[in-house]
Structure 1
Amino acid sequence: MLKNKFKILAVAMSLTFVGSLFVGCGNSKSGTSSNGKSTIKVNIGAEPRTIDPGLNNSVEGAQVICNAFEGLTNLDKNEKPIPGVAEKWDISSNGLTYTFHLRKNAKWSDGKAVTAKDFEYAWKRALNPKTASQYAYQLFYLKNGEAYNEGKSKEDQVGVTAKDDYTLVATLENPTPYFLSLTSFPTYDPVRKDAVEKNPTSWATKPDTYISDGPYKLVEYKSKDSLNFEKNSDYWNSKNIKIDRIEFKTLENASSYYAAFKTGELDLIDKPPATETPNLLKNGTAKAYPYLATYYYDMNLSPQAKSINPDAAKALSDIRVRKALNLAIDRTSITKEVTKSGEIPATSFVPKGTSDSNGEEFTNKEYLPKTADIPQAKKLLAEAGYPGGKGFPQMEILYNTMQGHQNIAQAIQDMWKKNLGINVTLKNVERKVHLAQLQNHQFMLGRDGWTADYNDAMTFLDMFTTGNGNNMTGYSNTKYDQLIAQAKAEPDKAKRASLMHQAEDQLMIDLPIIPIYYYTEVVCMNPKLKDAHISNLGFFIFRDAHLDK
């Protein structure tokens, strides 16, 4: 009873907060601000840690970048690569050399021409080990890309060259069937050398220095509030951009941003409160979109774990403990009773709907049960020296601020207590802190999620290779590394798919992670907002969007 009363009070407080938050922001209810410009307000769920294309590795940052920048290619509404800055390209018969021909009318937001040199600089910058880009591995497809990143090759040996201002030549290590899709990904976006190097640590935080080449340019950066963009009049296709202004709001509390949507102060939100979602889907206020993404927990297997909690590190180093923690979770219960948005219990890591690049769906195995296997979980925990949970060290689940994450963490906390007799505590931090602690391995159990960068199983598997910037677990297995390397070098699609399956087999034997569910993307959108592209890669793309009068 007290919980229900508190919830009502919290919603009332959030409505008051939202009302004060948007005072003076213009009339979003009509899709038009007071100055007559068509404006939409989009919630991205948290303030991005960075909106630097070469450094970002979060969905929040990507939501902004994909509207501010444009790569060699764009994705159409079927997620297929189409011309972007490159108006055409040639591919060599062996699939190793791509020659991109850039538009001569492509310009930066300050009016200067976008050139092939801007792409060459951006790609080599992301690969440079001094940059410390956690997405550097996404450019290892380039000839000598990985070698340069590891200090084993020189910059001028990397397989990307500006032949002239409007011709970029990319040479790959191996044929890569999804390379054109990769060139639409933020890490492959161009950045201007003069803008970056003049303000290397702050260029992506100020409108005067955040020079971009896409449909929108930054005009205001209000920390902990919003990132505001306006139409880039110098964009080569600006005449077809119909939305004049986008305000990316950074509300993390689901009750708050849902309340703002209901009052018309937000035009687009995703992940509405779980208690509201079934009715929102039923009455058409919300829509579930395809989404290639997995929600999971990391287990810290890195050397740093011992300095944080030696006893917990010892327990997690035992594969029987990791498997017991996995088996003690009722994933079906979480999706039906906690998240309630049509999610699918995750019995593997690569989600349903992901391609194997051989014309088939990759996910065809169930490594974990959809409901808890309590007897087996108890047996494994006892074999590891913790019968009935006795002597099991105290651990903490780290998650970022959002009611949904808290609800899931509480459900898992209860399941582990009931099913295994172990106690874990919960730690809630803001998104920037959460990302930093995951990346620095300053946790024992951490909430995580991964969205595909392109539609191929490799995007879910290669990040668990040793030393990968997005491998938050610190997991390292030589056999796994070799399988991923072989798959990337294998030209035969069937053999490549087989190698990737073997890699996932190994990952799910070692279990450095706790897969929980495959996402759905539930979005509430102003019915006046038309042709916004809700990508299955997690992006909201407004290049073709318009407001219905």
Structure 2
Amino acid sequence: MKRKSSLILLTLVLALGSLLAACSNNNNAQSPGGTTTNEPAAAVDQVLNINLAAEPPTFDPAQAQDSQTNTVLKTLYEGLVRMGEDGKEQPGVAESWDVSEDGKTYTFHLRDTAKWSNGDPVTANDFVFAWQRVLDPSTAPAPPYAYQLYYIKNAEAYNLTGTEGYKGAKVTDFADVGVKAVDDHTLEVTLENATPYFLGLTSFYTYYPVHSSVKGNDKWAVNKDSMIVNGPYTLTDWTKGQQIEVSKNENYWDKDNIKLSKIHMSLVNSGATELASYQSGQLDYAGLPNGEIPTDQIPAVKQQLPDEFKVKGIASTYYYMFNVTEKPFDNVKIRKAFAMAINRQLIVDNVTLGGQLPAFGFVPPGIKGENEEFRNEHEDKFFTEDLTEAKKLLQEGMAEEGYTTLPPITLLYNSSEAHQKIALAVADMWKQNLGVDVQTQSQEWGVFLENRNQLNYQVARAGWSADYNDPMTFMDMWTTGNGNNDAGYANPEYDALIKQARTSADPKVRNEAFAKAEKLLVQDDMVIAPIYYYSNVSLTKQNVKGIALDFSGAIDFTRAYKTE
């Protein structure tokens, strides 16, 4: 696509930000507990200092839905399994598990040494209680990730029974849902269909156990003094807008392998400040997924700190989302025009500068397909950046809506220097390429999420990271009524394809269903405008070991430690 000199000049001026991302079936599988490192922590101050660019809205696993919260929850809670850096499941609260021959029934054997931070034993009933709380239709606000439990027999029916428009089977008694505490240390889970990635799902925060003390206490998840947790650390300080601190949990079953005494998290929404704090020694880690390194500084930082600078491709996608219920983006031709008028290569070359790849699909590289990566099996060229076609579609869409000029349009993003610079560059492209004036608006993270959830926007930035390694983690969120479907998208054909992929055990059938669904999402209906596939850009002090960054970009600080 021909580049206009004025656009190049503007994007070069704007070339500055880095980015935040919005996430196997073994029979008789058994693994030993805890992994002991061969490198003992030296006699140094075992306090890790990091930064969160946005404050987590809550520490309730049922309400969590963002990477900032995920990072902190990993320190406070542990599920039936936990994910290792290699992306494989490791024993968590469950020390072993059995899977039935048909792949539908999982029996988890909980370790008798698992305890809550107050000393109470973690039991199978704690998982039953937590999962019922997620699925209970009376839970308010409705947990956005309730659908992640729909793999469990009758879970979807229980969650949706009584809701407007639901026409499926009626289930009003949670006893009919496929989760049962056989005894204190045995949890039996029955699935609707064999799900190869279910074991890994149990490491996700929506599947965490919750202590029964939360009953009747609506404020428990925003008050450190009422939080009883079962993970490696406890919440010992939360000064709103300033800092979060977690300290080693002496009741954690694997406490001998937890080397840090504390993890201190500042709350600073400034990449420049974060980088300066790292360079001055106040931070031990800087960058994604919780903070950012200003991209105008990346070349210099890479040269000055080659042993501390890291870039890693991750299975995450940065995109703009259209509210398909709000004018003018209830018209698909207008949505397509806006998506086609963005020069993605220009953004990654001159604005983000972190090794990102232009995206023309939603499922990123790194996600498994039928035989190899899904992206290798299905090319992501669902649309092209064609200014002539974009202008034509815009005029056709405006004529269909009776517009002589478009109504005022605002592009919404959460407060971040990186998101601001991308938004300004894209708004300029829309001005230069389509002749459309678009205002950009920044909002604090919690407010931004709420406005997206309530469809109180026209166009908004978003990022999605894999919650497990299967295309489903990117595709099922767009089904009608899904808690993470912030576009207001509703297409029965799309829903049917996702249901087919969910219920089929045939990899080929699943793969083809995903491919057809992605085409609907990114081409036919153009619900989103993909921008790029993420890379993780970060800095880590050389004496810090054990930080785990998985394939999706999720980070785990729990087993980190410092050496001399």
Residues 1:234 and 2:254 are matched in the alignment: no
Contact 2:334 2:398 (8 Å CA) reproduced? no
Aligned to 2:98: 90
Residues 1:136 and 2:146 are matched in the alignment: yes
Task: With the length of structure 1 as denominator, give the TM-score of the two structures.
Answer: 0.89
What aligned pairs does 1:388-537 form with structure 2 within 5 A after superposition?
A: 391-508=405-522, 509-537=524-552
String of CA shifts for 1:125-175, please: whole Å, max 9, x gaps. Answer: 111122210000000000011001102312111111111000000000111
What aligned pairs does 1:65-214 form with structure 2 within 5 A after superposition?
A: 65-131=73-139, 132-151=142-161, 152-153=170-171, 154-194=173-213, 196-200=214-218, 202-214=219-231
String of CA shifts for 1:495-527, please: whole Å, max 9, x gaps. Answer: 111111111111121011111111111111121
Could you say what secondary structure the match of 2:463 adopts?
strand
Give the C-alpha shift of residue 290 in structure 1: 3.2
CA distance in 1, matches of 2:559, 2:150: 32
What aligned pairs does 1:363-382 form with structure 2 within 5 A after superposition?
A: 363=375, 364-368=378-382, 372-382=385-395
Could you say what secondary structure the match of 1:211 adopts?
coil
CA distance in 1, matches of 2:52, 2:549: 13
Give the C-alpha shift of residue 39 in structure 1: 0.5
Aligned to 2:25: none
Distance 1:416 1:390, change over 3 A: farther
Paired residue for 1:56, among 64, 67, 72?
A: 64
Deviates more, 1:528-537 or 1:329-338: 528-537
String of CA shifts for 1:24-61, please: whole Å, max 9, x gaps. Answer: xxxxxxxx9xx985101111220011111111001100
Give the C-alpha shift of residue 390 in structure 1: 5.3
Query: How many equivalent pairs are there?
Result: 506
CA distance in 2, matches of 1:531, 1:446: 35
Aligned to 1:540: 555
Paired residue for 1:265, among 255, 270, 282?
A: 282
Distance 1:377 1:284, change over 3 A: farther
CA distance in 2, matches of 1:191, 1:359: 38
Could you say what secondary structure the match of 2:422 adopts?
helix
CA distance in 2, matches of 1:489, 1:293: 25
Amino acid in structure 2 at the alignment position of 1:360: E
Give the C-alpha shift of residue 369 in structure 1: 5.4
CA distance in 1, matches of 2:459, 2:405: 18
String of CA shifts for 1:216-246, please: whole Å, max 9, x gaps. Answer: 1111111011110000000001011111100
CA distance in 1, matches of 2:197, 2:513: 17
CA distance in 1, matches of 2:47, 2:472: 38
Distance 1:368 1:489, change over 3 A: closer
| Larger RCO (CA under 8 A, 6+ residues apart) | 2
CA distance in 1, matches of 2:245, 2:182: 36
Contact 1:206 1:220 (8 Å CA) reproduced? no
What aligned pairs does 1:287-326 form with structure 2 within 5 A after superposition?
A: 287-302=310-325, 305=326, 313=327, 315-326=328-339
Contact 2:308 2:539 (8 Å CA) reproduced? yes
Amino acid in structure 2 at the alignment position of 1:280: V
Residues 1:217 and 2:217 are matched in the alignment: no
Could you say what secondary structure the match of 1:54 adopts?
coil
Amino acid in structure 1 at the alignment position of 2:176: Q
Distance 1:225 1:510, change over 3 A: same
Give the C-alpha shift of residue 544 in structure 1: 2.3
Could you say what secondary structure the match of 1:450 adopts?
strand
Contact 2:307 2:542 (8 Å CA) reproduced? no
Contact 2:116 2:228 (8 Å CA) reproduced? yes
Aligned to 2:361: 348
CA distance in 2, matches of 1:223, 1:395: 33
CA distance in 2, matches of 1:289, 1:139: 30
CA distance in 1, matches of 2:78, 2:313: 23
Structure 1 unaligned residues grouped into runs of 5+: 8-31, 306-312
Amino acid in structure 1 at the alignment position of 2:177: V
CA distance in 1, matches of 2:381, 2:336: 11
Give the C-alpha shift of residue 87 in structure 1: 0.4
Contact 1:119 1:191 (8 Å CA) reproduced? yes
Amino acid in structure 1 at the alignment position of 2:293: P
Amino acid in structure 2 at the alignment position of 1:351: P
Contact 2:248 2:258 (8 Å CA) reproduced? yes
Task: With the length of structure 2 as denominator, give the TM-score of the two structures.
Answer: 0.87
Aligned to 1:359: 371
Task: Give every structure 1 segment of 4 or more consecutive aligned residues whose post-TM-superposition deviation is greater than 6 Å.
Answer: none
CA distance in 1, matches of 2:497, 2:265: 40
Distance 1:37 1:279, change over 3 A: closer
String of CA shifts for 1:404-451, please: whole Å, max 9, x gaps. Answer: 100000011000000000011011111111111001111111111111
CA distance in 1, matches of 2:549, 2:49: 15
CA distance in 2, matches of 1:448, 1:418: 23
Superposed CA RMSD: 2.1
CA distance in 1, matches of 2:286, 2:555: 10
Contact 2:44 2:562 (8 Å CA) reproduced? no
CA distance in 2, matches of 1:403, 1:286: 20
Distance 1:523 1:142, change over 3 A: same
Contact 2:44 2:563 (8 Å CA) reproduced? no
Contact 2:321 2:527 (8 Å CA) reproduced? yes
Deviates more, 1:338-347 or 1:269-278: 269-278
Distance 1:249 1:368, change over 3 A: farther
Contact 1:253 1:401 (8 Å CA) reproduced? no
Could you say what secondary structure the match of 2:393 adopts?
helix
Structure 2 unaligned residues grouped into runs of 5+: 1-9, 15-40, 162-169
Could you say what secondary structure the match of 1:463 adopts?
helix
Counting aligned pairs with the same residue, the percent is: 41
Could you say what secondary structure the match of 2:224 adopts?
coil
CA distance in 2, matches of 1:255, 1:386: 45
Give the C-alpha shift of residue 368 in structure 1: 4.5
Aligned to 1:280: 301
